[in-house]
Chains A and B, each alone.
Chain A
Amino acid sequence: NAGVTQTPKFRVLKTGQSMTLLCAQDMNHEYMYWYRQDPGMGLRLIHYSVGEGTTAKGEVPDGYNVSRLKKQNFLLGLESAAPSQTSVYFCASSYGFTSLTGQETQYFGPGTRLLVL
């Protein structure tokens, strides 16, 4: 199993350009997530999906859109990139959440480094 994969690994954009980050998982997970990590800020949730065809906003959704057309894929789009979106983006997936057992574990991809000039 490859687990969670992300493409591309690194990208440079000019302000105003658009791009799509692809996340794929082969663990048959229902839930998928997109985070961004900035220096000194930890991981912040952008959008997430609780199943195929569903999406929801996280903590920092502005400037991003997502789609979950297939269970195994979760796409993150930047319609008009801004320098403030320079970050490392991580995708994660999980079976779901079971707060009673406390065994909700998210599995992360290797990340995509995005630089917006």
Chain B
Amino acid sequence: DQQVKQNSPSLSVQEGRISILNCDYTNSMFDYFLWYKKYPAEGPTFLISISSIKDKNEDGRFTVFLNKSAKHLSLHIVPSQPGDSAVYFCAAGGSQGNLIFGKGTKLSVKP
């Protein structure tokens, strides 16, 4: 059973608009969450994270929101740029130290 779910395999957005990527989790023991970005033929790179004690974390154009009661987090990219086109992975971790990854969402930002 998937503990971390990214239900949208793909998302297409116009340049300059907002991109919203969603992630749901089932394990209430997770207490930190991360987003990774992956370009083809490269390894994933860390983008932004959030602890369960917060509900929002911002870094430039990227903001992650956490709704613990709904076990839901989202990544907002504003404004979206063509260079943001990549696969985005949501990951969750807890006291065991391992990260559980979602299957990823492929974002396409069109000029």
Chain A interface residues toward B at CB < 8 A: 4, 31, 33, 35, 40-45, 48, 50, 58, 90, 92, 96-97, 99-111
Contacts of A92 in B (CB 8 A): 43
Chain B interfacial residues counted at CB < 8 A: 30
Min CB gap B105→A, angstroms: 10
Contacts of A102 in B (CB 8 A): 31-33, 49-54
B103 touches A40 (CB 8 A): yes
Task: Known A105-B49, A107-B46; judge A41-B103 contact (CB<8 A).
Answer: yes
Residue B97 CB within 8 A of the other chain: yes
Chain B interface residues toward A at CB < 8 A: 9, 31-34, 36, 41-46, 49-54, 89, 91, 93-95, 97-99, 101-104
Contacts of B43 in A (CB 8 A): 4, 90, 92, 108-111
B93 touches A42 (CB 8 A): no
The DSSP consensus for interface residues of chain A is: loop
Cα separation A102 to B98 with both chains bound (whole Å): 12
Write the chain B residue with the least CB distance to A48. B98
B34 touches A105 (CB 8 A): yes
Min CB gap A67→B, angstroms: 19
Cα separation A90 to B43 with both chains bound (whole Å): 7
B46 touches A31 (CB 8 A): no
A90 touches B50 (CB 8 A): no
Cα separation A104 to B99 with both chains bound (whole Å): 9
Min CB gap A107→B, angstroms: 7
B31 touches A42 (CB 8 A): no
Contacts of B44 in A (CB 8 A): 43, 90, 108
